[in-house]
Each structure stands twice: as C-alpha cells, then as structure tokens.
Chain A
C-alpha cells in the first residue's frame, strides 16, 4: 500500500463498502493538506444494465421470423377461416357470471391495472380558469389471460426477487391489442390457447391480492377507474439515442465564442490526477439516453369517456405519444382509496342501461357549460 493510502486509512477509518462510497468529511490534519475528495457521487446503479435490446431469456419467441411465403389465394382464405373458427367471439362476461366468490374490498386490496396507449396531450381548464395539461390515455382491449397464485408466483424468478422479504401476492397477466395470429410464433399463440382469445400484441403483469382476482377472459375497460382517484403510470421514457453530455447530464459545456477552440459542448475534465488516479465508475459521459422504465406517481384522473374507453389524467406520463403505458391504482399512502372502487373490476349494468358517457371531475370546467365569470 502506498504511503498516501496508509495515511488515509489511519486518519479516515471509515470503511468503504463496494456498493456505496460514503461522503468524506474535510480532513483537518496538517499532513494531508494537499488531499481533497472531489468525488461525492453515489454510484450504486452504475453497473446495473438498465436496458437491453433483447427480451429476458425465459420469454417465448414472439414474432414470426418466416419470410414471405407464396400461398395461393385459396389457401389464404382457408387459413383465415381456420383462424375465425378457432377464435370465435365469446359472449361478454357479466358480473354475476364470475365463478369465484364475491370478495369484499378492504383498504389493503391491490386491484388489477390496465394497459393503455398514450394518445396525446389535451389542454383543459379548471373552474377558476386555470389551465391544466392533461394526458389522454386510450384503454386498449384488455383481457385477463391468466392468474398466478401467490405461492406459485413466489417461486418464479421475478416473484422471488419482489417478495424476498414480504408476504407473496398473486399475479394477474393481462393482454392488450388483439392481432392476427399470423404474425406471431406458435409458442406465443399457445399462451392464449387456454383462454381462447386472439393473441395480444402486449402482455403485462399486475400484482394483485387474492381477493381482487379476475377469471381469464375478463375484459378491463376505462370504467375500472374512478374519476378523481390517483393513479400511477408506468412507461418507458422517450428514446433520445446516443446523446452528448450537455443534453444527457445538463453540463454547461464551454463558451460559444471568446476564442474557445473546439470546446463548446464537451464535458471537460473527467477526474483529478491525484486521488484514485483513474476515472471513477459512474463518471457522467455521453451515451444512450432515454428508453428507461419510469413511474409517474399520484396522477389524478380528471375525466373518463366510457364510450371511447379514454382516460384523461392530470399531468404528463413517461414516454412519447402513441406509446404503451400501464396504469394502476396509486401506491402513495395519502392518495389511496377511502371508499370502495369498482371491485374487482367494472362490469356494465346488467339491466341494459347505458352508463354515463362522459364523466368529469368536479374541479374541471365542462366545455358545453357557460363561460366562467370570476
């Protein structure tokens, strides 16, 4: 060990763990006047791979790799007939048909979530004239595919990590956006064989408590949520590609003029010469930016359109327009439900009465109503 290193361990007896570098206090010793600790970074996540171009190894191959086959039009028609026969429309599930016992809602229940598409941003106004930016989320044709009970889920790879130190919960697999089975592989289509549904383009897992279980083939719509409740939205952020240090980390770069030679958007120094004498892991540099998993918590639902299955949420969600997001009840403790929501999900009334088409939050100004006079 070098003299410098020895001195450092003598005067600063804090143990440096591999996961986190603790903040070092200013040294007051006359021997170590020249030493400064400039790096005050927490680099816990610097080695973790945040994004991949391939799905996890336990996933089944999804998209059909075949080349264009020259099928005659008769055979093509036959294939279409077979598909139609196989996936004949099922009658919609009513609330009374549920074969599981109706379980009561309690504040600790975790309901299923919903897969939606972020279709854009619309400006609306509150009753005092204040403008509000709302994201429009179109709830796609969600169907429950399968339920994995808590004991079984806790043995799976993801489940074991999630429930390492707590009581396991069940997992509901929900699919959205039905598509032609031609474009998928046989293994992927077999995931939907039990349910008898057209294969879905998108699948998602939602953690649910056993009392909020839904049978397979249950449709989930915008009515699953209540106007005024808070939701969390999960999405993948906008993919900016390979970006420089100014856009990616907010560096200031260099002067635009005053004789600056080739130093306008660069990072500058990446380390000192003395301590550690190398570039520290986690040093902010150019690289891939975006396309990361993010949750926007506690967004308020201000309007639900039952006819078009559209939810208006106050604020913005991660991801670009026309990207898929997942919506579920919020985990924030102060904004959770106090009254029972549609549990386990919303079913249209059985006496044939249509629900109210457009439900607005009480704080919003409805467009057909008279102008606001302050």
Chain B
C-alpha cells in the first residue's frame, strides 16, 4: 500500500514536472519562474521522501522526480531491441565511478559552462573553452553536450563527451534554462547572442533552489538559414517576419496530432517504474559524492 503511495507521488511529481515543462513550451508571453529544484533542494527533499515502511518493513528510498532532468544520461536509450538490464547496470556503475573522480555538475541547455580538457597540442597541456550549451544528448557513457561561443568573430562549437577521461574539469558559470530544449538556432542568430567572454567568472545565484528560465527572445539574421526555423515552434526566437507563404507551408507540413499520440511518447521514454528503480539505485551514491565534495569545498582543498 505504502509502496504504491510512494510510486504515486513519484508519478505525480513526474506528471507535474511534465506539465510544467509543457506549459513553458506552449506559452507565448513572458514566462513565470517554474521551480525546478537543484541538487541541494533535491537532497533535502529526498530525505523527507523516506517513507516509514512498506509490507516488508524496510524503508523505501525514492529519488526525487527531478532527477530525470538533472541526470538524463542515466536513463538508457528507449529502443526496446537494444535494451539489456545487466549492461545498463554495469554502465551505471562505471558512470558513478567516473563521477567520483570528476564533478559533472547539473546543467541544462542554455547554461554557460567552461570545460578544461587535456590537450597535447596546447602550450600548457590543458585547453579551456567557455560556451553556452546548445544541445545535449546520448545516454550512458556516450552522453555528450555541445558548447558554442564566438571567438574572434568566428563561431566555434565543440562537442564534449561527458565521461571522457581527458576532461579535467566541468564548471557551470551560469546555471539557467532557456525556452527551448535545443538552441541550434543560435547558429543563425546575431553573433552577440552566442558571445561569452573566455575569462567569465562563475555567477553566484541568490536563490539557489530554483533554476531560472531565461525568457530571452533571440533575433535571427536575415535568410538563408541552416534550417527552417519557422517549422519548429521555437519559443526563444523573436518574430521571424517571413512572408505568409512560409507559415502556410509550415502548417501544411506540421503534425499537430503528435502531441496527442500517447504511444509515441511511450516509445520515446522509459516507463516511470523503471525510472524510479534506476534513480533509486543511483541516488544514494550521488548523494554521497555530493556530500564529500561539500566537505572538501568547506575545507578549501578544492
């Protein structure tokens, strides 16, 4: 009974966060702050989520539902033909091992990050790159993200594999989210939207518990573009000012029934029960690592 109640709270939390995210993407005007708890709040929340007991009398630890957005690479690729529970378990063990050595912080598309990699061709053997995360993907040890910056008027994008052992340090200089999940349109936007100083300092936030959503609307350069942005329902882009025939064609080509297609959503995601198991498995280890890091930071040995 209690176990079912726990599962229900997890699923409710998932549903709420799903709807929150959907609300964000569907709104047209400026958006209010949608609270997505960071790892700090998540830790406190997780402690409170330990239910007194289920049928067997053991405490049931449930990871907070926000883990799905904070650590999306722990979820495997949903394609059923290539799934194997044992392999996913072994991969998760390896991922946690790597995370115990390097801190891979929570970040989202739209966060400004700095990555230091070991590079044989650099003068001091380490190369540091600062950029805005425009896309992230992959699952397991193959997880990657792309950082974009404009250096000497030249747009530069670098794809980093999160678990590559050449990476020495990943810092999040500005933790925020944007109105879209993928910021590939920055390639066709004016360069000032992708420019970040290479010596940028990490920004400290006043309110640590909420990841702010930056409601910035980006101005695009005049056409030709790399993709047909008018067909992609972008929220973070200013009015494209195209002739009406573009929007007519976009409507013809659009698939408005996809948002009602439950089976499509089901096939693209891992079911809630499995997510719960995966994150419960991973949660305690991540908590321990976070705790150790906090102690190290307080001592000042970082």
Given contacts A138-B86, A310-B90, contact A373 B102 (CB under 8 A): no
Q: In angstroms, how far is the closest chain B Cβ from the Cβ of A8?
A: 53
A residues near B120, Cβ cutoff 8 Å: 374
Determine if B166 and A129 form an interchain contact, defined as CB atoms under 8 angstroms apart.
yes
Q: In angstroms, how far is the closest chain A Cβ from the Cβ of B91?
A: 6
Stretch at the interface among A105-113, A168-176, A363-371: A363-371
Determine if A373 and B118 form an interchain contact, defined as CB atoms under 8 angstroms apart.
yes
Stretch at the interface among A58-66, A71-79, A116-124, A153-161: A116-124
Stretch at the interface among B92-100, B175-183, B205-213, B226-234: B92-100
Determine if A372 and B101 form an interchain contact, defined as CB atoms under 8 angstroms apart.
no
- A27 beta carbon closer than 8 Å to chain B: no
- B164 beta carbon closer than 8 Å to chain A: yes
Write the B149-170 contact mask toward A (1 if CB under 8 angstroms, else 0): 0000000000001011111100
Count how many pairs of residues, one from A and one from B, have CB atoms less than 8 Å apart in the complex: 76
Given contacts A136-B90, A373-B168, contact A120 B118 (CB under 8 A): no
Closest to A320 in B: B81
B residues near A369, Cβ cutoff 8 Å: 101
In the complex, which residues 298-329 of chain A have their Cβ closer than 8 Å to any Cβ of chain B? Answer: 305, 308, 310, 320-322
A residues near B126, Cβ cutoff 8 Å: 373
In the complex, which residues 318-359 of chain A have their Cβ closer than 8 Å to any Cβ of chain B? Answer: 320-322
Given contacts A120-B82, A371-B102, contact A136 B118 (CB under 8 A): no
Given contacts A125-B164, A321-B81, contact A374 B125 (CB under 8 A): yes
- B236 beta carbon closer than 8 Å to chain A: no
Q: B82 contacts which of A321, A371, A374 (Cβ < 8 Å)?
A: A321
Interface of chain A: mostly helix, strand, loop or mixed: loop
- A39 beta carbon closer than 8 Å to chain B: no
B residues near A86, Cβ cutoff 8 Å: none
Q: In angstroms, how far is the closest chain A Cβ from the Cβ of B171?
A: 14
Q: In angstroms, how far is the closest chain A Cβ from the Cβ of B122?
A: 9
- A131 beta carbon closer than 8 Å to chain B: yes
Determine if B125 and A367 form an interchain contact, defined as CB atoms under 8 angstroms apart.
no
Q: Considering only CB atoms and an 8 Å cut-off, how many residues of chain A contact the other chain?
A: 25
Determine if A129 and B165 form an interchain contact, defined as CB atoms under 8 angstroms apart.
yes
A residues near B142, Cβ cutoff 8 Å: 123
Q: In angstroms, how far is the closest chain B Cβ from the Cβ of A362?
A: 15
Closest to A367 in B: B97
- B140 beta carbon closer than 8 Å to chain A: yes
Q: B165 contacts which of A321, A322, A372 (Cβ < 8 Å)?
A: A372
Q: A371 contacts which of B87, B90, B94, B168 (Cβ < 8 Å)?
A: B168
Q: In angstroms, how far is the closest chain A Cβ from the Cβ of B288?
A: 14
Q: In angstroms, how far is the closest chain A Cβ from the Cβ of B20?
A: 33
Determine if A374 and B101 form an interchain contact, defined as CB atoms under 8 angstroms apart.
no
Q: In angstroms, how far is the closest chain A Cβ from the Cβ of B147?
A: 18
B residues near A120, Cβ cutoff 8 Å: 82, 84, 87
In the complex, which residues 88-133 of chain B have their Cβ closer than 8 Å to any Cβ of chain A? Answer: 90-91, 94-95, 97-98, 100-102, 118-120, 125-126
Closest to A365 in B: B165
A residues near B165, Cβ cutoff 8 Å: 125, 129, 365, 367, 371-372
- B141 beta carbon closer than 8 Å to chain A: yes
B residues near A138, Cβ cutoff 8 Å: 84, 86-87
B residues near A122, Cβ cutoff 8 Å: 87, 90-91, 94, 140-141
A residues near B163, Cβ cutoff 8 Å: 367
Determine if B167 and A371 form an interchain contact, defined as CB atoms under 8 angstroms apart.
yes
Expressed in whole angstroms, the Cα–Cα distance for A370 and B102 within the complex equals 8
Expressed in whole angstroms, the Cα–Cα distance for A367 and B90 within the complex equals 12
Closest to B166 in A: A129
Q: In angstroms, how far is the closest chain B Cβ from the Cβ of A138?
A: 6
Q: B119 contacts which of A119, A124, A305, A374 (Cβ < 8 Å)?
A: A374
Determine if B84 and A371 form an interchain contact, defined as CB atoms under 8 angstroms apart.
no
Expressed in whole angstroms, the Cα–Cα distance for A122 and B142 within the complex equals 8
Write the A85-121 contact mask toward B (1 if CB under 8 angstroms, else 0): 0000000000000000000000000000000000110
A residues near B94, Cβ cutoff 8 Å: 122, 367
Q: A374 contacts which of B83, B118, B161 (Cβ < 8 Å)?
A: B118
Interface centre among A129, A322, A369 (most CB of B within 10 A): A129
Given contacts A129-B164, A129-B165, A367-B97, contact A373 B86 (CB under 8 A): no
Closest to A321 in B: B82
Expressed in whole angstroms, the Cα–Cα distance for A54 and B87 within the complex equals 32
B residues near A123, Cβ cutoff 8 Å: 141-142, 161
Expressed in whole angstroms, the Cα–Cα distance for A334 and B88 within the complex equals 35
A residues near B140, Cβ cutoff 8 Å: 122
A residues near B118, Cβ cutoff 8 Å: 129, 371-374
B residues near A321, Cβ cutoff 8 Å: 81-84
Q: In angstroms, how far is the closest chain A Cβ from the Cβ of B139?
A: 11
In the complex, which residues 215-254 of chain B have their Cβ closer than 8 Å to any Cβ of chain A? Answer: none
Given contacts A122-B141, A310-B90, contact A371 B166 (CB under 8 A): yes
Q: In angstroms, how far is the closest chain A Cβ from the Cβ of B105?
A: 15
Closest to B76 in A: A120
Q: In angstroms, how far is the closest chain B Cβ from the Cβ of A236?
A: 15
Interface centre among B81, B102, B165 (most CB of A within 10 A): B165
Expressed in whole angstroms, the Cα–Cα distance for A122 and B98 within the complex equals 14
Closest to A309 in B: B86
Determine if A370 and B87 form an interchain contact, defined as CB atoms under 8 angstroms apart.
no
Write the B64-90 contact mask toward A (1 if CB under 8 angstroms, else 0): 000000000000000001111011001
In the complex, which residues 14-54 of chain A have their Cβ closer than 8 Å to any Cβ of chain B? Answer: none
Expressed in whole angstroms, the Cα–Cα distance for A129 and B164 within the complex equals 8
Closest to B91 in A: A122
Q: Can you list 5 A-B pairs, Cβ within 8 angstroms, ordered by A?
A: A308-B90, A322-B81, A365-B165, A367-B163, A373-B168
List 17 other contacts, CB 8 Å, given A122-B141, A365-B165. A119-B86, A119-B87, A122-B87, A125-B165, A136-B90, A138-B87, A310-B86, A310-B90, A322-B82, A367-B95, A367-B97, A367-B98, A369-B101, A371-B102, A372-B118, A372-B165, A373-B118
Top 7 A-B pairs, shortest CB-CB distance: A367-B97, A119-B84, A119-B87, A120-B87, A368-B97, A374-B120, A129-B166
Q: Which A residues have a C-beta under 8 Å from some C-beta of B? A: 119-120, 122-125, 129, 131, 136, 138, 305, 308, 310, 320-322, 365, 367-374
